[in-house]
Amino acid sequence: MKLLSQYFIRGLLAALPLGVTIYLLYLFLTGTEEFAMWWLRPLLGDFYLPGLGLAIGIGIIVLLGFLISQPRVRRLLSFIELPFTNLPVVKSIYSSLKNFADYFTPNSTQVAQQVVILRMPGQELEIVGLITRQNLASLPQGFMPGDRVAVYLPMGYMIGGYTVFVPRTWVTPIDMSVEEVMRSSLFAWMARNEPPQS
């Protein structure tokens, strides 16, 4: 019985990420197809191509990305955001999510995102993190002086993380993308990296 429960849990953990991904894709596809049919039915009548909703959905997302890259649209969005940035509890949640999303948004004016290993001198502990700030000069007084960086340390299962301010000599860049680190952190680095086949 114990062996069966172990197999069940392993099977569930294997199927869950795939199932959630498929379900979200299904919701996106059905939603865009229904929207396309509602929008185009008055224009095209009974004529409809399967997959047209998906094409329209992708087009809307690309158009949205283009629009919010324009300065005038960003100014308009700042007015739309006013209710979310002024309500006490909503402000904290919205601002945190927006700042987090902005960090992963490609932006030529932003410092390149850098994945590092943090090693404290005299310790064999290694922590993977993301440099979120290369220069601490603009922070208020009270922080330790010197050449220091801010490093975000994501926690497993995306329940949060810590930002630590450490000397630059404590961090070593590694060849991983931000997406790989966040994906690995999501499941506490339990995924196995298969060695390359010779």
Terminal Cα-to-Cα distance of the chain (whole angstroms): 40
Q: How many CB atoms lie within 10 A of CB 151?
A: 24
pLDDT tens series, the chain, 198 aa: 777 777 777 777 777 777 888 888 888 888 888 877 777 777 777 776 777 777 877 888 888 778 877 778 777 777 777 777 777 766 666 666 666 666 555 554 445 568 999 999 998 999 999 898 888 888 888 888 888 999 988 887 666 788 899 999 999 999 888 778 877 877 777 766 555 554
User: Which domains are delineated in the chain?
Assistant: 2-80 (no CATH), 114-186 (2.30.30)
Q: What is the pLDDT of residue 135?
A: 83
Distance CA 88, CA 94 (A): 10
Residue 129, φ and ψ in degrees, nearest 5:
-150, 180
Q: How many CB atoms lie within 10 A of CB 130?
A: 22
Could you tell me if 67 and 60 are in contact, meaning their C-beta atoms sit under 8 angstroms apart? no
Please state the pTM of the whole predicted model: 0.49
Q: Which two tokens stand for residue 190?
A: 């339990």
Q: b/e for 18-54, b at 16 or more Cβ within 10 A?
A: eeeeeeeeeeeeeebbeebeeebeeeeeeeeeeebbe
